[in-house]
Amino acid sequence: MKYLFLICEIGGESLRGDGKNTFFPILVKDGEVIGFGDVSDDDFHPQQTEVVDGISYVYPIDPKGIERKWRYARQTIEEIKDMLFPKMKKDGSYEIMLGKNFGQYKTVWQSNLYDSSVHGKQLLNKLVPNAEFSFPKSVYAVKDALYAVVKNRKNAKVLDFFGGSGTTAHAVQMLNKDDNGNRIFITTEQMDYINSVLVPRLIANDTNKKNDGFVYMELMPKNLGYLKDVIHSKTTDELKAVYQRMLQGTDTDEPADISFRADLSKIDWVEGFDKNKRLLVKLLDKNGLYYNYSEIDDKNVRDLISDEDYAFNKAFYEGGE
């Protein structure tokens, strides 16, 4: 979603005297428009933003101090109050912006902010130097797409099943910075770069995003541990040792879940190390790579996890804090 400055651009018929009832204060408190003041007398010349009793009175004055006019007159501006968005500048003053939140969105969006090279790859490398990620999306393209849905939902939960380099989560952080929101992102990713790219990106310092911290979790491995052991085995004897643990388990691990298609009575070691490795990979039930939450109260599973992890899972899946 793009914003348009409510203040008129410099040009013809944009000065204070060019419009009737268009020079008045817009009242801002806690980052929101709370009302509008009366039309100012002609001999009244305020600062662009004046603060009185904790309320900011924002006037249509450009950065050079030239008095201009709002696009809407005092008698009509209240009709679009919900579309106004105050944006605080570094000096504490405000710019009042108009959100184009009416009608249907266009199929094609065009903006320099959507340049994936500058606001995707270059931005990522600024936050995470030498990040190995070929084509991250522009964070502004994702931010505008999210804005179209959660602009007025400051406590929304945004779920991203394919986290990638973390662009969606980053965009949520930026939205929260804009309006001091408390939107939550839930991001999942199965690739190793979650540790080298995604997490470092989200904790990196960036003045454009609000970083309240986050919880990073990994699924508890089950068959995955055996799968990794098979893959990393270097000899047939090592494979046979893994196979025995798959069948019998250990003091700290349950036996593996074997594929229902496997007939263990017919399993036999064959010539060729790679063939035996592929055989063990096929034996493992791929649906059992991780423990399911439905098994959390099973005694054998409960003994494997800490009280802290148990309590966290209960709170996460059952809606607790």
Residues 63 and 40 in one domain: yes
Structural domain includes residue 215:
no
Q: At what angle are helices 223-232 and 273-283 packed, to 10 degrees?
A: 170
Instruction: Return the ∠ at Cα 208 (arms to 82 and 163), rounded to 5°.
Output: 95
Confidence of residue 104 (pLDDT cuts 50, 70, 90): low
Structural domain includes residue 141:
yes
Structural domain includes residue 195:
yes
Structural domain includes residue 60:
yes
- pLDDT surpassing 70 at residue 9: no
Residues 23 and 63 in one domain: yes
Distance CA(94)–CA(59), nearest Å, equals 9
pLDDT of residue 159: 93
Residues 256 and 229 in one domain: yes
Instruction: Return the ∠ at Cα 25 (arms to 23 and 27), rounded to 5°.
Output: 155
Residues 149 and 175 in one domain: yes
- pLDDT tens per residue, range 25-82: 999 999 899 999 999 999 999 999 999 999 999 999 988 899 999 988 899 898 888 8
By three-state DSSP, how is residue 203 classified? helix
Residues 9 and 94 in one domain: yes
- pLDDT surpassing 70 at residue 121: yes
- pLDDT tens per residue, range 129-149: 988 888 899 999 999 899 888
pLDDT of residue 4: 42
User: Both tokens of residue 209?
Assistant: 């995003």
Q: Give the number of residues written for the chain.
A: 321
Domain count, the chain: 3
Structural domain includes residue 187:
yes
Enclosing domain of residue 192: 112-203
Residues 138 and 192 in one domain: yes
Cβ(114)–Cβ(143) under 8 Å?
Answer: no
> Phi, psi at residue 17, to the nearest 5°?
-80, -5
User: Both tokens of residue 73?
Assistant: 């007159």
Residues 8 and 93 in one domain: yes
Q: In this structure, what is the dihedral angle of CA atoms 165, 168, 170, 172, given to the nearest 10 degrees? A: -170
**Parallel, antiparallel, or unpaired for β 55-58 and 184-187?**
unpaired
Q: Which residues of 196-220 are buried (b: 16+ CB within 10 A; e: fewer)?
A: ebbbbbbebebeebbeeeeeeeeeb
Residues 141 and 181 in one domain: yes
Residues 87 and 123 in one domain: no
Residues 67 and 121 in one domain: no
- pLDDT tens per residue, range 212-269: 888 888 888 888 888 888 899 998 889 889 888 888 887 777 788 888 887 887 777 7
Q: At what angle are helices 236-248 and 223-232 packed, to 10 degrees?
A: 170
Residues 268 and 186 in one domain: no
- pLDDT surpassing 50 at residue 3: no
**Parallel, antiparallel, or unpaired for β 94-99 and 84-88?**
antiparallel
Structural domain includes residue 233:
yes
Q: Domain end: 75, 99, 123, which one?
A: 99
Q: Domain end: 203, 236, 271, which one?
A: 203
Structural domain includes residue 152:
yes
* H or E segment and range at residue 232: helix 223-232
Structural domain includes residue 308:
no
User: Both tokens of residue 296?
Assistant: 């959390």
Strand partners, 35: 27
By three-state DSSP, how is residue 171 classified? helix
Residues 178 and 236 in one domain: no
